[in-house]
Structure 1
Amino acid sequence: MNQILSVASQGLFLYLGLALVFVVLGLVLRRPGFKGWVGEQRLQRLIRAQLNPLVYVDLHNVTLPTAAGSTQIDHLIFSPYGLFVLETKNFRGWIFGTERQSQWTQQIFKKRSRFQNPLRQNYKHTKAIQELLGVAPEYVHSVIAFVGDCEFKTEMPPQVTRGDGFVSHIQSFTQTVWSPEQMQDLLDKLEAVRLQPGRATDQQHVAHVKELQAAKPPPKSKMQTKTPARPKPEPVAEPVKPPPPDVVDILLEPVVAAAMVELPVDVQPEGPVTVSAWTPATVKHRQEVRECPQCTWPLRKLVMQRGPLAGQGVWRCTNTAACSFVQEETTQS
């Protein structure tokens, strides 16, 4: 019985160990770094198999110093026809992008992801080569090589290739620009300025890339983007109610009936009678001012000039914006 249990436990541990190995292997295979390494190895085999080594000299995983730190080039190919800087992309699915877009799109079924425009990424590599080796820009050519089961869904520039298409693109350059001696001088200069290849250099470059990525601000999502608040509409100004009837400005209320003046019986004026000639003790002003029965605004007396009521007086509310009260003088008295 004990032997059976020991054999079973050994088999269980064996299965658990194999399962753990497969899990770790699956995680490693799914890492972007491993996929990139596989793509670079595949491209390296294509270069050595399809480009004549007597004409083309290939270098791989070249790390160069820059003013901001370092930059790493996947593949460099020296030839009498120029220097080719290759950037490898191991992608699958559909690829969308244009030369001027900063981000390209990869679509696998319904899942979409974005990545940096490789042309812009490789531009930094070509500039570093030009500055360190003192090469004219027209002799340094950027080439993007997509490997893997991918398909372009937008029209790509000729330097963006898929599969082994980069070989025919490189071979399309046939004009000699360097002699063998000049090529050897460039190779010697590159070996003098490049960082020593090895694990320490690779780790230092990866740390530098992570620092650059951490310094970049995170992209704003649509949910984080705040829409500007709409300006609140200004309140509609309500009509201002005029002052009480006893202080109404005569200029703002064109009442037709003039102020009536009553003279005391025992007082006889000398000469023409004017309102200003009498004192308040002997003169009493009686101004006809009434309130509207609908809105309590003052009424004003008007004399109709046209229509069937021509020549007849009417009382009309002064709040013409909100009240339409009109009354004939005959019915008001």
Structure 2
Amino acid sequence: MGRSIPSLALGTKLRPGHAVTGELSSAGFHNNETLSPEVSEAPPSWGLERRLGHLATLEAESIFILREAAAEFSRPVMLYSIGKDSSVMLRLAQKAFYPGKIPFPLLHIDTSYKFPEMIEFRDSYTREIGAELIVHQNREALEQGANPFVLGTQRCCGLLKTKALLDALAAGGFNAAFGGARRDEEKSRAKERIYSFRDSQGQWDPKNQRPELWNLFNSRIEKSESIRVFPLSNWTELDVWLYIHAENIPIVPLYYARERQAVVRNGSIVLIYSPDELLPGEKVQWIKCRMRSLGCVPCTGAIRSEADTVPKIIEEMISFRRSERENRAIDHDEEGSMELKKREGYF
């Protein structure tokens, strides 16, 4: 038995004056909507026909979580990292509150080491969709010269990401923060709740989390506490790319393979934008590559790839058997490093 919910069907283009009508089935589709050409023309190798119901269910679950948290918390904010997961979460928020505007701001933590293409995309796309954007930096640490080469990735990340995030949340009085983390990304994220409780210091204790039975989420917190909300918890990397294809979602060009100037450093392909970024003895070479995960330039490696379109990326994804975060240096600076960072308040 369907239930009427004013949201847009999977594959529906967002456009001014679009009438939102129809009965939502249990799988999440509006029965009177037609699929976009991007969905209809998918090659058989994707098995997309059997995945569509799954994607629609994920979409409906995420929209429910977004609406639930927006209604329960007085001051929510969406953490916007500019990556593919953030792009999907942003589209879901557009659909969840359509035809109105997204009822909370986006927060980007700018380390000053992000890829130039990310910053350009962030500014142009948020302006295009009319989203409120807050950009925060740890200016004190940057003025003191904080960088991963001198401090190491763990200390640098702690100052430019974790502390900057906690300071921004406190300054804005935010008591709930939407994040794009998925349980399939990394082992510490696999045990993350959808409503992830954080104490008065913004820290996460995996042993002090609340049960989430039957899609019931406990939002009760003290004034100094907060919740991180993860609407994409049950999505996989492949789900994200299929949804980007179905929805024709704009993404940072770094995800597409092309010839780029880079060096191979500690087994990772590191993009080079200036001679100042080269270490002694390094020489720039042209490598056809793309980013599978986005972060800071010195700490995020590319992968060799020929996938220069979303369909080709999906074909590549189907054959992958390695983690998308294997080229993120911050995940490997010590055993259990991601869990330690999360305990301190990291994204």
**TM-score over 0.5 for the pair:** no
Query: More strand per residue: 1 or 2?
Result: 1
Larger helix share, 1 or 2: 2
Q: TM-score range by the shorter chain?
A: under 0.3
TM-score, length-scaled by structure 2: 0.21
TM-score (normalised: structure 1): 0.22
